[in-house]
Structure 1
């Protein structure tokens, strides 16, 4: 059990992953500590997969919380004492809380995506939504859509025949289509969960301008560059556009809410986001 003495000390947090050299997570969490006055530090914890169990023991002994990124979001799950409903359904953990009850796994991408939509007044309830990509981020996005009772959900993938079966568990009524099928689709929101258009390959877009313009709003989980070609094409079609920076900060703040046991409003997310924008 944690002692009162330890609770008074500066708490340690970190990012558990493979190669972490370009991560913005330390900046985000240091800004969080700065603006909230909470005592804490945040470090990068590069860890090969074979050293993951040993690293987890170290974290249990010395850390209050950790974020998790590629390639450990799945591998860490058997090493935890408990996992939340959302993280189980998504099949990935990106946040761990360490306390007297052990190590509990969460997925804050789910909450970060939700807060981003809410902040931008995008309501998916009963709407027609297309999600591009089938990676880990897409799982969290699809789970959120299902929980918010999306009307029609289309998952766009290059290989319909080999879609991860987990998506059928998350969204049994989701319709899978290939990129050729997207051309005939119209809807309310299109979400890019692929890395296409990410720095440094900024001159690429996952779909054509004509396909994008069949929707009312475009959301891109990429935050570097701030305006991807995908979003630029959507803006030229007079659509609402949202990049992924708010989600990046919101999922980090959601992790801090878990660790600190408090709630923080969108003003803090925006303040941190504005600071980050100067450095991207």
Structure 2
């Protein structure tokens, strides 16, 4: 029995159990994927909580992606560079941490020319950090992180010296624009993180939000002829990568398409 789960603070609306149950059923794996809400006061002892439940692998979501690191035995190179872990596996008595968001982002950008492009990331949270590392590894020419979070500014610049931190009023023309904020997410679907005038300064718009699939941000991008990409592929790819880590094997290529159809309600 694969006893897996998702660790976070408030998990009521997570679709992760449905995704992983689909994978179990498709691969004929005997598994269960549970939601494990952990109170902030217990967040220094996440592994203890996990061991009580006999769980051998789990995902981590906000606000514990950074907090979990000091509780693990090892972390992968991409998790180290990003400074966040979202997938943990118990292997040979040791807890190993990975960041599968990174792999989801790399896959999401397949077929898009990132090398030597000017990229803007809206937001400076955990997802933005994974985007920074992925775009840097894909050889982006310039990476601008657009934020209102003054407290976060110096810390991010220190960790990623190759980026520029700017305010929303300083957005200029670029190639790729990525929304890594929750602005536009259901139920506040009438909001967009930046103005239509700023959106049309770019050629490609990416929104890591997957609900709704077409945010106002992406609809405005399409209106001005930009290539528009939503967060569904990143969500699926990071989940598949997590399962590869837990199952210790490569998954069939067609599983991505099957999962995409399932999440779009086409099955």
Question: TM above 0.5, one fold?
Answer: yes
Secondary structure at 1:154 match in 2: strand
Coordinate RMSD, CA, aligned: 1.8
| 8 A contact 2:124–2:152 mirrored in 1 | no
Aligned with 2:18 (options 27, 38, 52): 27
| 8 A contact 2:46–2:68 mirrored in 1 | no
Distance 2:219 2:158 in 1: 32
Correspondences of 1:83-122 after superposition (within 5 Å) = 83-118=75-110, 121-122=111-112
Distance 1:123 1:36 in 2: 33
Q: Deviations over 1:228-275 (max 9, x none)?
A: 000000011111111001111111111011111122355312211221
Distance 1:53 1:155 in 2: 30
Cα 1:167/1:113, change in 2 over 3 Å: farther
1:153 aligns with 2:140: no
Aligned with 2:193 (options 202, 206, 217): 206
> Deviation of residue 14 (structure 1)?
0.3
Distance 1:258 1:188 in 2: 33
| 8 A contact 2:157–2:165 mirrored in 1 | no
Distance 1:275 1:101 in 2: 35
1:175 aligns with 2:161: no
Correspondences of 1:49-60 after superposition (within 5 Å) = 49-52=40-43, 54-60=45-51
Q: Deviations over 1:103-132 (max 9, x none)?
A: 0111111111111111xx112111111111
| 8 A contact 1:60–1:103 mirrored in 2 | no
Aligned with 2:36 (options 24, 30, 45): 45
| 8 A contact 1:222–1:245 mirrored in 2 | yes
Q: TM-score, normalised by structure 1?
A: 0.89
Cα 1:167/1:29, change in 2 over 3 Å: farther
Correspondences of 1:10-25 after superposition (within 5 Å) = 10-25=1-16
| Runs of 5+ unmatched residues, structure 1 | 1-9
Cα 1:78/1:269, change in 2 over 3 Å: same
Distance 2:211 2:17 in 1: 17
Count of aligned residue pairs for this structure pair: 265
Aligned with 2:221 (options 234, 244, 247): 234
| Runs of 5+ unmatched residues, structure 2 | none
Distance 1:214 1:79 in 2: 43
1:136 aligns with 2:123: no
Aligned match of 1:253: 240
